[in-house]
């Protein structure tokens, strides 16, 4: 199964994707985590990515698509993956479709975490104190919200127009409750096994 965890910055995508992937026995592939690991390693990619990420802007589509393509070829992703933070533009979604089509696969479900803006700001400020991420500043976060609205939100419209399965979940509440909501919604809408 190829699942996409979708939502604005601060919606809890990473936390929930990690938990849901474990339950579904899928690798959790988070482009933001991959990039932060490259920065920590001091690689060339990391050096290129760091200032762009710190400003709250997006990395070029072709670069991100290459990272995902390589990651999806690793053996642990043979049965699928839970993608987090990708695709973030319609161009990335189209590139993902093309890459999956070559393997006779498709995005099976998009999980959308709905969280109001005030809550996103509260969570970001809490995370800034706890984790000290370079892009958890008021300025970078405002920019990430703009980028989300202008470039990432249309990805959902793209999947809707393709008739993909979309599961919308209320992302406000205790972490366990939100995880339950997601797993329940995924199980409820799962295609039924045909009686034989």
Hey, which residues are catalytic here? 13, 88, 127, 133, 144
In the bound state with ligand AMP, the residue whose beta carbon lies nearer, of 11 and 179, is 11
Is residue 125 a contact partner of residue 20, using CB atoms and an 8 Å limit?
no
Smallest distance, Å, CB 178 to ligand AMP?
17
Stretch that binds ligand AMP, among 21-29, 73-81, 83-91, 158-166 (CB under 6 A): 83-91
For 75, the token pair is 């053996």
- For residue 134, give the nearest of 28, 63, 57 by alpha carbon: 57
Beta bridge partners of residue 113, listed in sequence order: 169
Residues 37-66 interacting with ligand AMP (rule: CB under 6 A) = 52-53, 56-59, 64
Query: Considering the rule CB under 6 A, would residue 91 count as an interface residue with ligand AMP?
Result: no
Stretch that binds ligand AMP, among 15-23, 84-92, 96-104, 164-172 (CB under 6 A): 84-92
94-127 exposure pattern, b = at least 16 Cβ within 10 A, e = fewer: ebbbeeeeeeeeebbbbbbbebeeeebeebbeeb
Task: Tell me the C-alpha distance between 182 and 171, whole Å.
Answer: 9
- The three-class DSSP label of residue 30 is strand
Residue 35 binds ligand AMP, judged by CB under 6 A: yes
DSSP letters, 55-93, are TTPPPPHHHHHHHHHHHHTSGGGTT-EEEES---SHHHH
Q: Interaction with ligand AMP in 138-167: which residues (CB under 6 A)? A: 144
- Asked whether position 26 contacts ligand AMP by CB under 6 A, the answer is no
From 19, 88, 123, 181, residue interacting with ligand AMP (rule: CB under 6 A): 88
Contacts with ligand AMP, residue ranges (CB under 6 A): 9, 31-32, 35, 52-53, 56-59, 64, 85-86, 88, 92, 135, 144
């Amino acid at each position: 199964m190829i699942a996409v965890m979708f939502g604005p910055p601060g919606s809890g995508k990473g936390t929930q994707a990690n938990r849901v992937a474990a339950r579904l026995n899928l690798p959790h592939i988070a482009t933001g985590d991959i990039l932060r690991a490259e920065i920590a390693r001091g690689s060339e990619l990391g050096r290129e990515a760091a200032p762009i990420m710190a400003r709250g802007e997006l990395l070029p589509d072709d670069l991100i698509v290459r990272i995902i393509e390589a990651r999806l070829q690793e053996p642990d992703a043979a049965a699928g993956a839970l993608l987090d933070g990708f695709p973030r533009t319609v161009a990335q979604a189209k590139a993902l479709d093309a890459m999956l089509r070559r393997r006779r696969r498709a995005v099976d479900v998009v999980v959308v975490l709905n969280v109001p803006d005030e809550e996103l700001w509260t969570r970001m400020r809490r995370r800034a104190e706890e984790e000290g991420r370079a892009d958890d500043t008021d300025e970078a976060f405002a920019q990430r919200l703009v980028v989300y609205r202008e470039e990432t939100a249309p990805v959902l419209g793209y999947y809707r127009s393709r008739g993909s399965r979309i599961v919308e979940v209320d992302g406000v509440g205790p972490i366990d409750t939100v995880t339950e909501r997601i797993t329940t919604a995924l199980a409820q809408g799962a295609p039924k096994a045909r009686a034989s």
